[in-house]
Amino acid sequence: MNILIVYAHPEPTSFNGAMKDLAVQTLGGLGHSVTVSDLYAMGWNAVAGPADISGPLSDTSRFSVAREQTVAIENGTIAADIAAEQAKLAAADLLILQFPVWWFGMPAVLKGWADRVFARGFAYLPGLKYDTGMFKGKRALVVATTGTSADTYAPDGIDGDILAVLWPIHNGLLRYTGFDVLPPCMAYMPGREDDATRAAQLEAYRQRLLYLDQTAPLFFHPSEDYGPDERLKPGVSARSAVQRNV
């Protein structure tokens, strides 16, 4: 299996770094091919804009990210750094996003990786989303650390259910483009734990990696659960992390 780890932490000796290294070692030991995109080490440009197009713009009067991405994918004029990441993603059977939760989301460099690499025409097009997404058949896994406890991210916690916090990533980025999204692997406040607890968190992650092929994906409502207005049909009970019946 080809695995792409997109890693977003500025400090190599961080717990995120340890999780990334463990994944490379464990998955490689299982015979998988593992590629790492270390965004900070790469000096990744997180800002989408006209420089993402290596050829002439299709419309010089008004820049549209979606339009210019689509034309660039069609013409092979997407910027070289984006094309390199898209080639890695196209080859991957499993995508792992490794990052610290900052302000209830991904670090800016990882969000910018998604903005630029998940380009229109490469990652999505009209009619090709969710069940029919362009990455259908691939799997994805969020691996992240937090600064506070698991209790704060419980369904009744002050920070909210972790699956609700991750919904923009799980649903808005990964499921939207067709991935089967595995339950996240969270390491809660490793910076405030002792060595034994951190070691236990790493071991728990190693066990997850060993049995990824036996892990069922998260539930997302299939297309047939929605009406023409793209809302859940009457009688369909909402079962996702954030959707509810009204």
Dist CA 39 CA 84 (whole Å): 13
Q: Kindly report, residue by residue over 4-45, the tens digit of the pLDDT.
A: 999 999 999 999 999 999 999 999 999 999 999 999 999 999
**Secondary structure (DSSP) of 91-133:** H-SEEEEEEE-BTTB--HHHHHHHHHHS-BTTTBBTTBSGGG-
Q: Kindly report, residue by residue over 111-146, the tens digit of the pLDDT.
A: 999 999 999 999 999 999 999 999 999 999 999 999
pLDDT of residue 142: 98
Token pair for 84: 């390199």
pTM, two decimals, is 0.95
Contacts of 81 (CB under 8 A, 6+ apart): 44, 45
Contacts of 177 (CB under 8 A, 6+ apart): 118, 123, 124, 129, 133, 134, 135
Cβ 244 vs Cβ 238: under 8 Å: yes
- Structural domains of the chain in order of their starting residue, each with its CATH number: 2-218 (3.40.50.360)
Token pair for 131: 């069940």
In angstroms, how far is the first alpha carbon of the chain from the final one? 42
